């Protein structure tokens, strides 16, 4: 492909495969954009790591994506957004970042029972960002939060709809359904990969909320405001790098029906990363 004169790409990253749910929403909303995706599969799960470690990974990944000329960085990981978005914005004020945060606001707008649920990683539910969102948006509504340890590992292993994953979900979600939630926020970008199973476990009376389409709209409006959208005749694409095995990554792409030009291996070397074709 001749990329001379082409609009710069959008960089997207996650600890692994979860951010592909966000990449997929961006691909749908902005089909003319080139998307570069990095999944840090070798370091998964971020949700059980310290903020300092997650920030160091996020900084190095951002540097690698910026070295590819990215015009905007999407942190397609709730855990990395909670740990790294604020410090990265402070360190690199010239860079446009879009991050994830649990979609408590739409859940609060939707609820009729006055009880909503949020599932996320341990790091996300214990973080300051989550506490401040609940304080700002959930006045008068009960927010039940639940960390789901090992669910990310289960999804990375391709166990999208197995008896074990279903039993784990029942353990976390049945108590919420008994307390009458009518909205459930997916506060980790891996969870939409198993949305049909989650919906089945909570039942049709609970609205399951995935923030990915709202994130795609945010990316679009930021680029539109700055006049930086790719031209309407440009050919969009997705190219992926993973620090883990490309074969496993490709298998999940196939499974969710997302087409990538290529899946490259990008190993970490002394805390830094280079995205080579
Ligand atoms: N997709 C990440 C998130 O949104 C998963 C975090 C992890 O690796 O534990 O939080």
Asked whether residue 1 carries a pLDDT value surpassing 70, the answer given is: no
Residue 15 Cα: closest atom of ligand 1: 8
Encoded tokens for 112: 């009729």
Identify which of 37, 20, 41 has the alpha carbon closest to the alpha carbon of residue 268: 41
Token pair 């999208």 is found at 160
Please check whether the domain covering 104-210 is classified as CATH 3.40.50.1860.
Answer: yes
Asked: is 10-100+213-273 a CATH 1.10.760.10 domain? The reply is no
Q: How far is the CA of 273 from the centre of ligand 1 (A)?
A: 20
70 in catalytic set: no
Q: Which long-range contacts (CB under 8 A, 24 or more apart) does 218-226 make?
A: 218/98, 219/10, 219/26, 219/29, 219/30, 219/72, 219/74, 219/98, 220/29, 220/30, 222/72, 222/96, 222/98, 223/30, 223/71, 223/72, 226/96
* pLDDT tens-digit series, residues 196-223: 999 999 999 999 999 999 999 999 999 9
d(CA 165, CA 193): 12
Ligand 1 centroid–CA 174 distance in Å is: 22
**What are the residues whose beta carbons fall under 8 Å from the beta carbon of 139, sequence distance 6 or more?**
none
Examine the residue annotation and report whether 148 is marked as an active-site residue of this protein: no
Q: Quick one: angle between helices 20-29 and 212-225, nearest 10? A: 50
Across the range 2-23, mean pLDDT stands at 88
The tens digit of pLDDT for each residue in 127-184 reads 899 999 999 999 999 999 999 999 999 999 999 999 999 999 999 999 999 999 999 9
| CA-to-CA dists, residue 169 to 11, 16, 182, 199, angstroms | 32, 20, 16, 10
CA of 55 to the centre of ligand 1 (A): 13
Alpha carbon distance 153, 251 (integer Å): 16
**Cα 188 to ligand 1 centroid, rounded to whole Å:** 5
Using most ligand atoms within 8 A of CB, pick from 23, 44, 47, 192 the residue to mutate for ligand 1. 47
Burial of 56 (0-12, 13-18, 19+ CB in 10 A): middle
Q: What is the pTM of this model?
A: 0.95
Helix/strand/coil for 113: coil
CB burial of 108-143 (b: ≥16 within 10 Å; e: otherwise) equals beebeeebbbbbbbebbbebebbeebbeebbeebeb
Specify the pLDDT at position 6: 78
For residues 210 and 192, what is the distance between their CA atoms, to the nearest angstrom?
7
Mutate to test the pocket of ligand 1, among 49, 102, 121 (most ligand atoms within 8 A of CB): 121
Domain segments of the chain as ranges: 10-100+213-273, 104-210
Pocket (CB within 6 angstroms of ligand 1): 14-16, 18, 44-47, 77-79, 121, 124, 152, 188-190
DSSP state of 260: -
Q: Locate the ligand 1 atom nearest the alpha carbon of residue 77 and give its number.
A: 4
CA of 134 to the centre of ligand 1 (A): 20
pLDDT band at 2 (very low <50, low <70, confident <90, very high): very low
d(CA 114, CA 84): 32
In this model, does residue 5 exceed pLDDT 80?
Answer: no
- pLDDT, tens digit, 9 for 90 and up, residues 104-132: 999 999 999 999 999 999 999 998 999 99
Tell me how far apart the alpha carbons of residues 51 and 256 are, in angstroms, rounded to a whole number: 30
| Better-scored residue on pLDDT, 234 or 5 | 234
- Residue 165: name the closest of 136, 189, 194, 199 by CA: 194
Output the six-digit token pair for 68. 């590819």
């Amino acid at each position: 492909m001749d990329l001379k004169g082409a609009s710069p790409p959008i960089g997207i990253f996650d600890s692994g495969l979860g951010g592909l749910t966000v990449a997929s929403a961006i691909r749908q909303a902005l089909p003319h954009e080139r998307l570069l995706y990095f999944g840090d599969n070798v370091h998964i799960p971020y949700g059980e790591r310290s903020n300092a470690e997650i920030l160091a990974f996020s900084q190095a990944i951002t540097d690698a994506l910026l070295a590819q000329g990215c015009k905007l960085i999407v942190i397609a990981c709730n855990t990395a957004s909670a740990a790294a978005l604020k410090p990265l914005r402070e360190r690199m004020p010239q860079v446009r970042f879009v991050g994830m945060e649990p979609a408590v606001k739409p859940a609060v707008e939707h609820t009729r029972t006055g009880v909503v649920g949020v599932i996320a990683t341990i790091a996300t539910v214990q973080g300051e960002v989550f506490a401040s969102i609940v304080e700002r948006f959930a006045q008068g509504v009960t927010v039940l939060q639940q960390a789901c340890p090992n669910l990310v590992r289960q999804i990375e292993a391709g166990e999208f709809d197995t008896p074990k994953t279903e039993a784990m979900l029942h353990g976390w979600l049945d108590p919420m359904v008994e307390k009458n939630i009518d909205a459930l926020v997916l506060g980790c970008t891996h969870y939409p990969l198993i949305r049909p199973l989650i919906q089945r476990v909570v039942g049709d009376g609970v609205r399951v909320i995935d923030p990915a389409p709202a994130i795609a709209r945010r990316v679009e409006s930021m680029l539109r405001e700055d006049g930086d959208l790719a031209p309407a005749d440009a050919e969009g694409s997705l190219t992926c790098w993973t620090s883990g095995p490309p074969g496993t990554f490709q298998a999940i792409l196939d499974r969710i029906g997302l087409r990538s030009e290529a899946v490259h291996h990008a190993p970490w070397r002394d805390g830094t990363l280079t995205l080579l074709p």
